[in-house]
């Protein structure tokens, strides 16, 4: 697989396009497909750019293809929501058997989220798989797993999305959960042994640097606490503006604190939470973002699941040494999750600040992960259920944080993944009534918006169910992969 970043090859032109705002959405240019060899486009641009009457927009439109930059979803009046989602699976299906512009090739068809997102996304795909399971589309579930495996084997990890400019970061590591879901669906445990090598490779990616990291600091995606314990953080190898939000990043950088502003921004993107007050030192302004100083409860919980899955796949192959190693790693991480992320004062799981040696103040819904995966004990689960009920559950679903900042991963927005995590987490510990309330509040919100607009949205307003969600760097999108998946899965339960 080529790591050639064609955006870097047209950097002068790309910089001019993004700074001139000829597209309302900066992602348009990153997704464009060159119609001619890059060297030829560059030479022509250099030759013509300073001439009288040069029109940058016309130049770009005549040298790049923008077809497929957005996924348009046909509205079908009066179709029941379940039937509409079944049709959407086909409308959101894509193939990429060869590289095209920034789009990475993948061996199997896949489902895209929708709207401006017309590529394969990592953690979205797990929640899409939940719906595919309900729809009986097992082959597409297998395709998603196979595409993730292909990327891990060829790139070393699953990128944020299947574009060349995402080759510096991943997303929450859901591959082991994808295998678990597929094994459950097909009743075939050989799936674990078939992808054992892939699981190991993904684990090596997240743990790279653990032998060299020093106490009280981080190295790549690994951190070591002052007590000498190893935890993980979100990280991006690049420290430059994101191509898909180029001008936004440059403008935010002007008043930013610290030399690694761009890397902090990108590292938050690896979490999928772009953006939230969760990452801000002052809880208010993106310029104070400090993702690199944090170890996150969601990431470490997912890596516990990966370690547990590796222990299982090792046991299935009678690899006793590996089974013991991963069993010990999982047991150790389980202890550390409760040592570092459980805040005894507020009785909620929080992220951990490596430099300050304490929990961060942000109260956020990623605290669900230890309950979703069965890591929390009974007392912690009871306290968390109380916090969820009192602080996070509104008439339109579970909100992501208790803080209203204007960022899209903050109050008042409710996102599909956390409705499923919340429902399952509460079910795991016997809080059935709360689980039903989470399910019903969010599903009603989805149904209301669908009735009014004919669309399934990327996110929803949980407080004001008369209003469509907002915030963030782009408008709310319709389609929408993980909403479709979670809605179907909740309706089945």
Token pair 């019903």 is found at 440
What are the residues whose beta carbons fall under 8 Å from the beta carbon of 143, sequence distance 6 or more? Answer: 108, 109, 110
**DSSP state letters, 371-392:** HHTT-S-HHHHHHHHHHIIIII
Q: Which two tokens stand for residue 422?
A: 């919340």
Q: At what angle do helices 56-63 and 11-20 cross, to 10 degrees?
A: 130
- Ordered DSSP codes for 75-132: --TT--HHHHHHHHHHHTEE--SS-BTTBPP-SS-EE--BBTB-S-BHHHHHHHHHHH
CB 430 within 8 A of CB 438: no
Query: What one-character-per-residue DSSP string does 247-283 give?
Result: HHHHHHHTT--STTHHHHHHHHHHTT--S-GGGBTTS
Between CA 188 and CA 195, with CA 189 as vertex, the angle to 5 degrees is 110
Cα–Cα distance for residue pair 491/493, rounded to 1 Å:
6
Catalytic residue among 274, 343, 363, 410: 274
Which is the catalytic residue, given 244, 249, 458, 478?
A: 458
CA 111, CA 127: separation in Å to the nearest integer?
Answer: 11
Known catalytic residue: 65? no
Q: What distance in Å separates the CA atoms of residue 48 and residue 59, rounded to the nearest whole number?
A: 9
Asked about 390 being catalytic, the answer comes back as: no
Catalytic residue annotation: 274, 458
């Amino acid at each position: 697989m080529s790591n050639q970043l064609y955006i870097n090859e047209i950097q002068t032109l790309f910089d001019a396009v993004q700074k001139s705002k000829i597209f309302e959405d900066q992602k348009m240019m990153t997704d464009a497909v060159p119609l001619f060899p890059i060297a030829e486009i560059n030479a022509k641009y250099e030759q013509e750019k300073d001439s009288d009457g040069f029109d940058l927009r016309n130049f770009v439109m005549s040298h790049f293809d923008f077809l497929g930059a957005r996924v348009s979803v046909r509205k079908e009046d009066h179709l029941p929501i379940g039937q509409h989602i079944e049709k959407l699976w086909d409308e959101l299906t894509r193939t990429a058997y060869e590289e095209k512009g920034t789009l990475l090739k993948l061996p199997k068809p896949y489902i895209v989220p929708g709207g401006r997102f017309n590529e394969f996304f990592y953690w979205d795909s797990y929640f899409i798989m939940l719906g595919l399971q309900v729809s009986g589309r097992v082959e597409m579930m297998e395709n998603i797993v196979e595409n993730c495996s292909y990327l891990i084997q060829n790139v070393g990890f699953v990128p944020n999305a299947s574009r060349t400019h995402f080759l510096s970061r991943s997303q929450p590591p859901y591959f082991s959960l994808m295998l678990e879901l597929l094994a459950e669906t097909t009743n075939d445990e050989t799936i674990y042994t078939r992808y054992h090598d892939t699981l190991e490779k993904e684990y090596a990616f997240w743990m790279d640097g653990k032998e060299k990291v020093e106490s009280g600091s981080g190295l790549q995606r690994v951190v070591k606490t002052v007590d000498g314990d190893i935890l993980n953080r979100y990280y991006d190898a690049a420290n430059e503006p994101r191509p898909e939000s180029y001008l936004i990043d440059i403008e935010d950088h002007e008043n930013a604190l610290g030399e690694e502003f761009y890397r902090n921004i990108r590292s938050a993107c690896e979490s999928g939470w772009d953006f939230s007050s969760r990452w801000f030192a002052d809880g208010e302004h993106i310029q104070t973002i400090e993702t690199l100083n944090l170890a996150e409860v969601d990431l470490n919980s997912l890596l516990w699941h990966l370690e547990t899955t590796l222990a299982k796949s090792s046991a299935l192959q009678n690899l006793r040494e590996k089974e013991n190693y991963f069993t010990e790693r999982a047991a150790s991480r389980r202890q550390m999750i409760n040592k570092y992320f459980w805040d005894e004062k507020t009785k909620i799981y929080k992220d951990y600040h490596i430099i300050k040696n304490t929990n961060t103040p942000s109260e956020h819904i990623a605290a669900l992960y230890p309950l979703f995966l069965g890591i929390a004990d009974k007392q912690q689960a009871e306290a968390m259920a109380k916090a969820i009920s009192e602080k996070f559950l509104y008439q339109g679903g579970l909100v992501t944080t208790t803080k209203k900042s204007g960022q899209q991963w903050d109050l008042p927005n409710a996102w599909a993944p956390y409705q499923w995590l919340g429902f399952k987490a509460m079910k795991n510990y016997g809080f059935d009534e709360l689980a039903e309330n989470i399910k019903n509040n969010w599903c009603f919100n989805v149904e209301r918006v669908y009735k009014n607009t004919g669309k399934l949205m990327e996110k929803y307003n949980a407080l004001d169910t008369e209003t469509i969600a907002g915030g963030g760097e782009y408008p709310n999108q319709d389609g929408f992969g993980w909403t479709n998946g979670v809605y179907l899965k909740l309706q089945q339960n």
